[in-house]
């Protein structure tokens, strides 16, 4: 297990994975080709709410409560990221977890994170986005460090009295098969605080998992590169979310 502490985080950690993908694989595959492949695959029969990892790992509870971790993500506004790579049978499994604070209310963070039709507005790294609401499909064309990636996601926004989550799965393109959950909580509720200030801020947890035989990227990138890209993209988008919150307040 590798444990990284980066300096920034945002509500839309999903986009960080999109940029990670774009930095490691160039592709000419566009929306129409991915959608055609999707339409012919078994994925076309899945419902958006099925087969998503909806349980945030227990490690997030440790990060929320232990003082040494709380100081890092709360006072220093850092992101906590854990990347684990394990082998099982003939495949490998990549587990990615993250936790961070956003200075915006839970409702605003969730509203921005679940507005899939406006993903392109959130970052210059996103060159094109298309959203089919009736099918729960989100297409993204991203570019970073000279590389392009094209991905088709199933996405599902889930809102109950207890939780607000964004659940997603890549069904075609780079990192096909990766699934993830973003959970958005009131900071005060998450840490058991009665502070009005903390009630107006959010705590965002991320969990993603990918089973694969060949990831298609160098081992050194898995070991050292993911946290760098997560930090850069997270910083940009968190700033957008907090600016939206400031304008609306």
Size of the chain, expressed as the number of residues it contains: 249
Give 155-164 pLDDT, tens digit per residue.
989 887 777 9
Number of domains in the chain: 1
pLDDT on residue 221: 64
pLDDT of 2 above 60: no
pLDDT of 135 above 60: yes
Q: Which residue stretches of 99-218 are H helix?
A: 106-113, 187-191, 196-199
**Dihedral angle over CA of 76, 204, 243, 18, nearest 10:** 110
pTM: 0.80
The tokens describing 216, both together, are 């298609």
- Type and span of the H or E element at 22: helix 13-22
Determine contact, residues 4/83, Cβ cutoff 8 Å.
yes
Bigger pLDDT: 3 vs 119: 119
pLDDT on residue 5: 44
Give 196-242 pLDDT, tens digit per residue.
999 999 998 888 888 888 776 666 666 566 666 666 666 677 888 88
pLDDT on residue 28: 45
Residue 151's CATH number: 3.30.530.20
d(C-alpha 167, C-alpha 157), whole Å: 6
The tokens describing 38, both together, are 């999707």
- Structural domain boundaries, residue 184: 2-248
Give 53-93 pLDDT, tens digit per residue.
556 666 677 888 888 888 888 988 887 877 777 777 778 88
d(C-alpha 10, C-alpha 123), whole Å: 12
């Amino acid at each position: 297990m590798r444990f990284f502490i980066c300096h920034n985080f945002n509500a839309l950690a999903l986009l960080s994975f999109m940029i990670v993908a774009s930095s490691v694989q160039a592709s000419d595959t566009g929306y129409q080709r991915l959608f055609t492949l999707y339409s012919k695959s078994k994925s076309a029969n899945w419902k958006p709410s099925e087969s998503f990892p909806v349980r945030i790992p227990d490690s997030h509870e440790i990060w929320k409560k232990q003082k040494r971790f709380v100081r890092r993500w709360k006072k220093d506004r850092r992101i906590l990221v854990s990347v684990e790579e394990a082998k099982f049978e003939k495949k490998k499994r990549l587990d990615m977890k993250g936790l961070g604070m956003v200075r915006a209310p839970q409702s605003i963070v969730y509203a921005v994170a679940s507005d899939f039709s406006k993903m392109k507005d959130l970052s210059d790294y996103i060159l094109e986005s298309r959203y089919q609401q009736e099918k729960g499909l989100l297409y993204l064309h991203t570019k970073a460090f000279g590389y392009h990636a094209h991905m088709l996601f199933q996405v599902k926004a889930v809102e109950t009295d207890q939780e607000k989550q964004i659940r997603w799965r890549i069904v075609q393109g780079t990192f096909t098969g990766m699934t993830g959950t973003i959970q958005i909580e009131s900071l005060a509720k998450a840490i058991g605080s009665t502070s009005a200030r903390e009630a107006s801020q959010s705590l965002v947890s991320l969990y993603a998992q990918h089973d694969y035989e060949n990831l298609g990227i160098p081992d050194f990138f898995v070991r050292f590169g993911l946290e760098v890209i997560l930090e850069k993209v997270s910083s940009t988008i968190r700033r957008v979310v907090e600016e939206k919150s400031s304008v609306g307040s």
